[in-house]
Amino acid sequence: MTQKTIGVAIVSFASSDVIEDCLNSLLTSDYTDLKIVVCDNASPDNSRALIRTWAANAGVSFQEVGQDTKISKIDAHVTMINADVNLGYAGGVNQCLAYLQQDPDVGLFWVLNPDCEVESTTASDFAAHAARAGDFSLMGSRVLYNRADRAIQSDGGGVNRWTGVCSNLNQGASADTAIRPHIDSLDFISGANLVASRKFIETVGLMREDYFLYYEEVDWAMRRGDLPLTWCDGALVHHHGGTAIGSGGHDTAASGFSNYFNFRNRMWFMARFNKPALPIAYIYTLLKVVKIRLKDGRENAQGAWFGLNNMSPPQHIHDRIAPEARDRAFNQQL
Task: Give 177-210 pLDDT, tens digit per residue.
Answer: 999 999 999 999 999 999 999 999 999 999 999 9
Does one domain contain both 275 and 322? yes
Q: How confident is the model at residue 285 (pLDDT cuts 50, 70, 90)?
A: very high
pLDDT at 241: 74
Lowest mean pLDDT among 10-24, 119-133, 233-247: 233-247
Exposure of 268 in the CB half-sphere (CA atoms within 13 A): 25
Does one domain contain both 124 and 271? no
Nearest CA to 107 among 195, 18, 4? 4
pLDDT at 116: 98
Q: Please give the residue range of the domain that contains residue 264.
A: 256-329
Q: Report if residue 263 sits inside a domain.
A: yes
C-alpha–C-alpha distance, residues 48 and 210, integer Å: 25
Q: Report if residue 250 sits inside a domain.
A: no
The residue among 212, 239, 266 that closes a domain is 239
C-beta atoms surrounding 182 within 10 Å: 9
Does one domain contain both 176 and 273? no
Mean predicted confidence (pLDDT) in 58-66 = 98
Does one domain contain both 209 and 131? yes
Total count of domains within the chain: 2
C-alpha–C-alpha distance, residues 88 and 322, integer Å: 11
pLDDT at 238: 97
Q: Report if residue 281 sits inside a domain.
A: yes
> Which residues lie closer than 8 Å to 14 by C-beta, 6 or more apart?
43, 44, 45, 47, 244
Q: How confident is the model at residue 278 (pLDDT cuts 50, 70, 90)?
A: very high
Q: How confident is the model at residue 304 (pLDDT cuts 50, 70, 90)?
A: very high
pLDDT at 1: 44
What strands, in cross-sheet order, belong to the sheet with 116-118?
A: 116-118, 237-239, 143-145, 152-154
pLDDT at 123: 98
Evaluate if residue 248 carries a pLDDT over 90.
Answer: no
